[in-house]
Chains A and B, each alone.
Chain A
Amino acid sequence: MKNKFIKYLRLTFSYLFLILFCAISIYPVLQVVNISLRPANRLLTTSLEIFPQNATFENYIKLFTEQPFLIWIGNSSFISLVVTLTGVVLASTAGYAFSRYEFIGKKISLLSLLVTQMFPPTMLLLPMYIMLVKLGLLNSYMGIMILYTATALPFCIWQMKGYYDTVPFSLEEAAMIDGCNYFQSFYKIILPIASPALVITALFSFMSSWTEYIVAAQVLQNTELWTLPLGLKSFESNLGTEWGLYGAASVIIMVPVIILFLVLSKWLISGLTLGSVKG
């Protein structure tokens, strides 16, 4: 009797706790969706409704017809795609070497990769900015793609190395006996097994460039080159924020990221705990 009472008490408090934090987690996201659907005359409202009255898509239509939003999507997609591809190719190969082979300078290189995580954001941004000014690469995609790759790559290599470490070496040995060469045993046997880690590496590289604002704000000053985050920020200002456009743009930017994140969340748990943290 007493035990049952305690059990119900525990479960009640557990569910209340979970529901409270779910509400806290989801509310700001709903808030953005809410703002994006508000009609122009209700943008500045103090009502607490979750779904706006007279919801309309006019903000979305305005975003695509009156703003260069399609150009920003194109720019961001191009940059993110190149950065993600570079990141995955480089991290999957270098991480493999770090996991499988001994070579001169291996330990110090691994340590250096870890140390780069301690760089404050200005540590690379400032010298790169000055270099880009001197090379005349400011306002070019080359410059920003280099910066994004530089910031994402060390973490991605560690992540991949950690995952390869959990794959037994005997797999390659067996493949070699069966006549595979180094490249084949990596490409045909190990890479498919490592696909969860590849997916997470891709996700992080993609996220770091698709939503990055601080670096882009310094490097891309020409409006035509703007990425989505720069466009989004331009709707917000001290004098008067274009809340409707801001909401609609935010929803379009974050929906693909959230979907990717949630779909991959299962791999995130194993990938992160095995990869970056336990090493």
Chain B
Amino acid sequence: MNKTFLKNIWITILILPSLVILIAVVVYPFGYNFILSLSNISLTHIRDWKIIGFDQYIKVFTTVTQPNIYVIFFKTILWTITNLFFHVVIGVSLALVLNQKDIFGKAIFRTILILPWAVPQLIVALTWRGMFNYEYGVINAMLTQVMGLPPVEWLKGESTAFLSAIITNVWLGFPFMMIIALGALQSIPRDMYEAADIDGANWYHRFRYITVPLLKPVMIPAITLGTIWTFNNLNIVWLISNGGEPQDSTHILVSFVYKAAFNFYRYGYAAALSVIIFLILLLFSLSFMKKTRTAENVY
């Protein structure tokens, strides 16, 4: 009795501070956000707001916004898939190349390749914004001086501004996937490949039947996490497009919500859209994890 009592006290000491803080700063605001999404709160109703039901949710789906919410949704999907595709392809390729046993200078290569991850996102965004500058940017300088092509108005055009944001985000995101893949590759025993060689397997067989199956359980959770982070990446889109420029055409869902909340003070609407984004991601993660049956690896 004394011993279990002591143990319970010990567990309480370990867990209680985090529990109290998380309830105060995560659970409570989460509930509060839900209540706000059911209310008419805005700048003019910041103190005298009242519950009005699901009006804000209906507004999200029916009001004609500038730009159209469905276009933004489509752009968010495009943004997430393009980014993830390049993150994984570049990251895994680099990891495979680095993991060959006869490559010299692995540590140096790895250190340099991690750099994009180490640079703070704010500096990444502002620096690339400078590099995309029409007159003085390095990218146009390279296009005109090295390749002899005409300069591009990167940040002024609707599709080029979005492309600029994607290029920037691909740059900063591939090292994470590379590190994860490298960790997984290093844990594959070399004698598996040697055994395959003895059995007469060529490089494709080795890749297809040893590397891919052993990479998959590690990459699937990383891709899930990467998808969520990219879907929710406010920094890059917001800062590269300077808040949605040109004319609010460069938005993904999260930057649109941020603008609705803090530039247009439509708090209730923003709260409702936040809940919807959260539900989209929750459904995606659940189904993706279930489909690939790796849930037991993560929980």
A positions within 8 Å CB-CB of B: 7, 10-11, 14-15, 17-18, 21-22, 24-26, 28-29, 31-32, 35, 44-48, 89-91, 93-94, 96-98, 101, 103, 107, 109-131, 133-134, 146-147, 149-150, 153-154, 157, 182-183, 207, 210-214, 218, 229, 232-233, 236, 238, 241, 243, 246, 250, 253-254, 257-258, 261-262, 265, 268-270, 272-273, 276-279
Query: Interface code B95-119, partner A: CB below 8 Å = 1, 0 otherwise?
Result: 0011010110000011111111111
Using A118-B285, A131-B29 as known contacts, say yes or no to A261 and B297 having CB atoms under 8 A apart. Answer: no
B64 interfacial by beta-carbon distance below 8 Å:
no
| Docked-complex contact B29 and A149, CB < 8 angstroms | no
Instruction: Give every chain A residue within 8 A of B15 (Cβ-Cβ).
Output: 93-94, 97-98, 103
B154 interfacial by beta-carbon distance below 8 Å:
no
Instruction: Give every chain A residue within 8 A of B187 (Cβ-Cβ).
Output: 273
> Number of residues in B with C-beta < 8 Å to the partner?
101
Residue of B nearest to A15 (CB): B103
Using A21-B90, A96-B14, A133-B46 as known contacts, say yes or no to A253 and B123 having CB atoms under 8 A apart. Answer: yes
Instruction: Give every chain B residue within 8 A of A93 (Cβ-Cβ).
Output: 13-15, 17-18
| Docked-complex contact A31 and B127, CB < 8 angstroms | yes
- Which one, B29, B93, B124, B136, contacts A44 given CB within 8 A? B136
B positions within 8 Å CB-CB of A: 6-7, 10-11, 13-15, 17-19, 21-22, 25-27, 29-30, 32-33, 36, 41, 46-47, 90, 93-94, 97-98, 100, 102-103, 109-124, 126-131, 135-136, 138, 140-142, 145-146, 171, 175, 179-180, 182-184, 186-187, 217-218, 221-222, 225, 228, 232, 234-235, 238-239, 242, 253-254, 257-258, 261-262, 267, 270-271, 274-275, 277-278, 281-282, 285, 297-299
- Which one, B18, B33, B141, B238, contacts A48 given CB within 8 A? B141
Q: How far is the CB of A250 from chain B (nearest CB, A)?
A: 5
| Docked-complex contact B127 and A28, CB < 8 angstroms | yes
- Which one, B6, B123, B254, B285, contacts A232 given CB within 8 A? B123
- Which one, B18, B120, B221, B297, contacts A254 given CB within 8 A? B120
| Docked-complex contact A213 and B113, CB < 8 angstroms | no
Q: How far is the CA of A233 from the CA of B145 in the complex (A)?
A: 30
Using A118-B281, A127-B33 as known contacts, say yes or no to A269 and B253 having CB atoms under 8 A apart. Answer: no
Residue of B nearest to A229 (CB): B122
Instruction: Give every chain A residue within 8 A of B98 (Cβ-Cβ).
Output: 18
Q: How far is the CA of A124 from the CA of B275 in the complex (A)?
A: 11
Instruction: Give every chain A residue within 8 A of B25 (Cβ-Cβ).
Output: 124, 128, 146-147, 149-150
Instruction: Give every chain A residue within 8 A of B13 (Cβ-Cβ).
Output: 93
Q: How far is the CA of A89 from the CA of B261 in the complex (A)?
A: 33
| Docked-complex contact B11 and A97, CB < 8 angstroms | yes
The secondary-structure label for the interface of chain A is helix
Q: How far is the CA of A182 from the CA of B130 in the complex (A)?
A: 55
How many A-B pairs with Cβ below 8 Å? 270
Using A17-B97, A278-B297 as known contacts, say yes or no to A26 and B115 having CB atoms under 8 A apart. Answer: yes
Residue of B nearest to A44 (CB): B136
Q: How far is the CB of B292 from chain A (nearest CB, A)?
A: 14
Q: How far is the CA of A123 from the CA of B34 in the complex (A)?
A: 9
6 pairs from A and B in contact (CB 8 Å cutoff): A28-B124, A48-B141, A90-B18, A270-B183, A273-B183, A273-B218
Using A31-B138, A96-B14, A213-B239 as known contacts, say yes or no to A120 and B127 having CB atoms under 8 A apart. Answer: no
Instruction: Give every chain A residue within 8 A of B253 (Cβ-Cβ).
Output: 120
Q: How far is the CA of A277 from the CA of B225 in the complex (A)?
A: 9
Instruction: Give every chain A residue within 8 A of B114 (Cβ-Cβ).
Output: 25, 261-262, 265, 268
| Docked-complex contact A126 and B30, CB < 8 angstroms | no
Q: How far is the CA of A118 from the CA of B227 in the complex (A)?
A: 10
Q: How far is the CB of B191 from chain A (nearest CB, A)?
A: 21
Q: How far is the CB of B101 from chain A (nearest CB, A)?
A: 11
Q: How far is the CB of A65 from chain B (nearest CB, A)?
A: 22
Instruction: Give every chain A residue within 8 A of B41 (Cβ-Cβ).
Output: 130
Q: How far is the CB of A81 from chain B (nearest CB, A)?
A: 17
Instruction: Give every chain B residue within 8 A of A21 (Cβ-Cβ).
Output: 90, 94, 113
Residue of A nearest to B22 (CB): A153
Q: How far is the CB of A106 from chain B (nearest CB, A)?
A: 9
Q: Please list the 10 inter-chain residue pairs (A to B) with the smallest Cβ-Cβ separation, ordered nearest first.
A: A211-B120, A273-B183, A261-B118, A94-B18, A150-B25, A97-B14, A118-B281, A127-B32, A127-B29, A182-B10
| Docked-complex contact A126 and B267, CB < 8 angstroms | yes
Please give 15 more A-B residue pairs, beta carbons under 8 A apart, in addition to A28-B119, A131-B32, A276-B225.
A17-B93, A21-B113, A28-B116, A31-B131, A44-B135, A90-B21, A118-B232, A120-B274, A126-B267, A128-B25, A130-B36, A214-B235, A261-B117, A268-B179, A277-B222
